[in-house]
Each structure stands twice: as structure tokens, then as C-alpha cells.
Structure 1
């Protein structure tokens, strides 16, 4: 197991540097001039040249890449031109908001995914199974931003005017303007109120994949000899399913946590932008629009690190829950 961790960590270093380098080169070769983003609209060419020189944007691409790589290897992600603060500090402000959103959506999607998957396995090849398969496949297939816009239309913007509902959910932000003046309980309710739509959006998309995985795992367990033995002993079907089927069928599902969490972090980019959630995703989109290269590179490196770390955690969890796996000799 230790050799697996060390091998994966050593292999991740050139992979992450390669991804970050490709992003750096791609951004540098993109059309447009980043210096024009930080001067007045009618600024003279002399002012634009001065800004370009002050930020080192007039250096050849190889020199800029060398300076960036040297600082990057020293843990210096640079200075955000659009945010006017160090990139590390800006990420530390946005990252907790993304973690709150991603962890909430992950927890909700696993709860519903397990429930739906178990129900489908128990009701295999029935109308219930077919109906749930269609629903989960629908949410799994549709674009996340379209689903987010539809939820905003139904449960936020049109909740009162169109449908006449006595309630609605906020369509943007993570807190009301006066949230700082509220008490602790009121702040918590306000945060949950703002979390509702983005969390439901992400959860509906993830639930389909989790449910299909759980269904397959449960069907494999239900066909085992010990399940038939338990039924032959006269145990109630509910006890057979819950005590023997679900307990063993959910063991492989543990590994999905390591895979889905980094995927969810990168998948929040569009959702955060649609709901104006002040997290890493919205920071990424805003930085791309502002051509704020240091922030884009740092966030790309963060997402890549999370994906590699998630896959490593999934492998470790799989080795823990399934003793037959011997990573150390793989």
C-alpha cells in the first residue's frame, strides 16, 4: 500500500506540471492582449505598453514560462491582476465555499443514489425499475447548466409569479445582504436556503451514475449462494436484503467517494457561475474572462491535484474493503 502511494505521488508530479505547462502555453498563445484588460478603454498605446512591461507580458513566451515555472516550483502562484491580491490568498477565500457546495451535493447524491439503486435491484425488470432507470438516465444525460436554469425558472424566478407558490429559493449568492446581522440559527437557515438549488442541481446529475453502480453491485450480490441460503432458512425478505444484500452490495460503492469528489469539484465550475456562488468555479470563469493567467493556472493545478488524489484514495479504499486486492504487488 505504501509503495502504491509513493508510486502514484511520484507519477503525479510530471503529470501535473505537464497539464499546467500546456495551460500556460495555451493561454499565452490565445488571441488578445491581457494588458488591455487593466487599462481604461481609451488608454493610449504608451500606457498599454507600460502596463505590459510592468507585468512582464512583453517578454518572450519561453522567458515568461521559465519565470513562472521557477516560481511555481517554489510554491509561489503569483499575483492576481484582476483581484489585486495574491493568488494563494484568493484561492483560500473561495475554496471553502466550493467545499461546502461539493460535500453537500456529494452527501445528498449518495443518499438518493443508494436508495434508488437498491430499489431498482430489488424490483429488477419491473415498471419501477424501468421508470427509475429512465429518470436517472435523463438527469445523468442533460447539461448541468440547463438543469440549473430550469430549476431557477421553476423554484426561484417563477415560483410566485408563474406557479403561485408561497415559497421560493434564491437564485444567486450564498447569503442575503443582511446575513451578518442575523443570529446564528438564522444565518444557518439562510445559508441552507441559498445552498438548496445548486446542491439539488449537482445531486440530480450525480445520483444517476451512483444509482446504476449500486444497482449493478446489488444484483451481483443477490445472485450469490449465501443470499439463497438465507432465503432457504425462511428469513424475511426485508432482512435478507438489508442485512445480507445491502451490507455487502455497498462495499464497492465506498470507492466512489474518491472518484466522485474531485469530479464534483471541477464540475461545480458552471454551476457556481450560474448561481453566482463565490467559489473556485466562479473564480475560474471570471479569471478566464479577465485573462488572469496566474489564477487560471493555480486553479487548474488544484483541480488536477484533486483528481489524482481522488483516484489514489479510491484505490486505497478499494484495497481496504476488498482484501483480495494486493496493490503492493500490482
Structure 2
């Protein structure tokens, strides 16, 4: 599911509709010269609404929408007729979308379910017509409420991929190769850093027609939490994953050190990531014999479930899926 059109960040101006003004009107009919006030209420201004759509997986369709404007409510009319409500604008977004206030960074909404709707920017209320202000001492009020003003604000939408397993590793560690072997995903694979520039999603088939979703996140480098390399651009995608599967190649100089660097970057970005279940897959095991594997196993932190795999020969890939499934359902 890699695509140069993958967009996971958009910023736009969201403007709801003004509320319609209440009507100042007196009932005047034949034989009813003093019918009293009958001004109707103004209509509500249109909302800007976010709606979850499981068929979407990118914010590309919103990339060039710099201004989203809802319709104003219509004013009330005589005969106690209320003005029409302004038309809402519904923005469909992928599951995992987070809406933030662009000025404060405050998280306003999170869309996690198909069909979920939330009001992003609320339309102004319609004003009350003069018929609402009639009292025993004021039978003919000649005033009404104006409509409430609209709201104009800058909004940021960020997409955090919803996946069961997130692959965490340095560039060129074999994450994309593993995903291509265990799923039908076809990520770009080459022998240089940052081949993966957009997250890839793959559905991994498991026993008895079951499955889980794996996300290949672009490689992390030391200092990523401070913005080095691809920086924090993709670290947010890891936040939604149930399990973090660390990928370290067998030809790494120091497996434990690489794991600790990766762990430290996640901790600096968001300490809560360390609460997730963690697994370690040591790739390129086809380069090793059993004796060397036993020696390298000693370098792995004892508390971390680990396995040697080879995407090339598919050595232990089924056992890896078993480990993941057990961890997901522990």
C-alpha cells in the first residue's frame, strides 16, 4: 500500500456558517389589524464535520483544500417561519485521523470508527424572532436576536495508521522485505537507506482464515525524535500499533546497542510507547549457523521475546507470526 500520493498531514482554515438573524415581523391580516409579533427564528449556520471512512487511507483528497467554508443560516420570516439551516460540510477522513488546533496544538478529536461523525467547527446559532420576546407587559416587541457569528480557525489533520503490528528499525534493516514476504504488500525494496518514504500496510494471513495488519514505518535513525533524518514525520504512526516489532539485521555491529538506540528514540518521542508489547526479529539469519545464533542470542535482552528469521528463505517466518498472534491475544 505504498504510494507517492500518501499524505498524512494537512492544514486548512475551517470556517462554519453564521447563524441567521431572527425576524422582526407583526402579523397583519384582513380583519386582524393587530395580530401581534410573528417573526420566526433564524437558521443555524452550517457545521464543518469530520466523518470516518474505512475505505480511505490517506489525506490526499484534502491536500489542496486550504479553506473549508460552510453555508450561512437563513434569516427568519414572518408567520413564525424559521430560516433554513446552512448546509454542513462533511469531510471524510481515514480511520486514525487526529484533528488539532493549529495555534495551540490541542487535540480536538480522534476518528477511529467507520461512520463516526464529530463536529469540528460549530456553526453559529440562529437568532430568536420577535415572537419569542412577547410578554404581558410588552405585547409588540420590535426587536429580535441577531444570528450568532461563525467560527474561523486553522486546523491540522494528522493521520496515525491503525495497525496491529508496527515494524521499528533503522533504514535498510529488512522491514520492507519482511512485509513483502508475509503479506501481499509490494513495498519498494533496495539496498540503500530510506527506500521506504511512506508507511506501508500489509494484511498478514494467519491460521484458520484469521489475519492481522502490519505497518512498515520508514526507518528511524539516532536523533529522529529531534527531527534528524525523516524525524518525527512518521514516528506518530507507531502510536496506534498494539505491538512494536523491532527489526535488527544479523550483520549489525551490536544488536543490543541498536535495540537500545531505537528504544531511546521512541522514549524521547513519547514515553508511553514503552508500555506496548515488544518483540525482536533478527533478520538475515540465512547468514548464520546454529552456533553463531546461540552466541548472538546472548546479546539480546533476556526480557525481550526474540527470534531469528530470514525473509529470503522464509526461515522462522511462520514462528514469527505465531509469536505476534500470541502477543496480540495475550
Q: TM-score, length-normalised on structure 2?
A: 0.20
Higher relative contact order (CA 8 A, sep 6+): 1
Larger radius of gyration: 2
